[in-house]
Amino acid sequence: MKPAAFEYHAPTTLAEAVGLLARLEDEGCDAKILAGGQSLMPMLAMRVARPDALVDLGRVPGLAGIRLHDGHIAIGAMASKRAAELSELVRDKQPLFHAATRLVGHQQIRNRGSVGGSFAHADPASEYPAVALVLDMEMVATGPDGERVIPAAEFFVTYMTTALEPGEILTELRMPVLPARAGWAIREVSRRSGDLALAGVALTLRLDAGRCTDVRIAAFGVGATAIRLTAAEDALNGAAPSADRFARAGAIAAASLAEPMSCIHATADYRRHLVRTLLERSLADAAARAG
């Protein structure tokens, strides 16, 4: 359980980091970016990852801000999850992201783990990718050609794989503030509080003249990436909120899942059952918050 040897680089500016990644790639060197290390370090310890070099972003200033900008919330990729958890801006303006943050790991992990790291790591059982789909978040990547903005729907490609190019660094996460009369919810089942979810759902909706609108739902832990549950959304948009309707949406969501993975902790059927039940309950949470 010791990491294999690697070269260690600690650039002190973003430009230096980008240049370093380009040079390492040219040299055929398999370089990994070290942010908070809370996902990468276990992979190094178990030697699931054996990079030739680590580029530590911990000494690069300016990547950890949390601010309101042009009507959206911008979180620097190196902001710690604890900073996002303690941010009044995030808590008041985007409570879904705030609640999701509190579900990630334990405080020891959130103190060191970066917000951006979880996006770049893209574990399908983690909360942020699902929240990113629900909120239509945007990821800002900085590479040799400057910045580019990647929408969440294109960012998560498959299991632990994102649209980031090898020479790019995820530098900022952007999300809208929660609109007026909107409700939100996130629920998950994990074996131990703070563990990755066996299954979970996140959603937002609005109530307009007694009808559900703008319903956006995503599930996590049940596929190679977080998944939008569009069939369930369609069954809810325009409908009056009711326990019956929410139960039916849960059933539709469960039926719409392609084969979720099975493992010793949860079979595919159990994960379907969890999505059904969690969605039903989450819809009730969100409707209550929207009302």
Among the residues of 57-206, which ranges form H helices? 81-86, 88-93, 95-102, 107-112, 115-121, 127-135, 152-155
The answer to whether residues 84 and 98 touch, using CB atoms and an 8 Å cutoff, is yes
The answer to whether residues 246 and 280 touch, using CB atoms and an 8 Å cutoff, is yes
Q: Measure CA 91 to chain center.
A: 16
The answer to whether residues 98 and 131 touch, using CB atoms and an 8 Å cutoff, is no
Please identify, using beta-carbon distances, which residue of 126 and 225 lies nearer to other proteins: 126
> Smallest gap, in angstroms, from Cβ of residue 141 to other proteins?
23
Whole-number Å distance between alpha carbons of 203 and 95: 11
Please identify, using beta-carbon distances, which residue of 24 and 249 lies nearer to other proteins: 24
Please identify, using beta-carbon distances, which residue of 24 and 175 lies nearer to other proteins: 24
Interaction site with other proteins (CB under 8 A): 1-10, 34, 37-38, 41-42, 44-46, 53-54, 56, 58, 82, 105-109, 111-112, 192-194
Please identify, using beta-carbon distances, which residue of 105 and 250 lies nearer to other proteins: 105
Least Cα distance to 39 among 144, 140, 126 occurs for 126
> Smallest gap, in angstroms, from Cβ of residue 108 to other proteins?
5
N residues, the chain: 291
The SS3 assignment for 279 reads helix
> Smallest gap, in angstroms, from Cβ of residue 2 to other proteins?
7
> Smallest gap, in angstroms, from Cβ of residue 66 to other proteins?
17
Please identify, using beta-carbon distances, which residue of 18 and 134 lies nearer to other proteins: 18
> Smallest gap, in angstroms, from Cβ of residue 194 to other proteins?
5
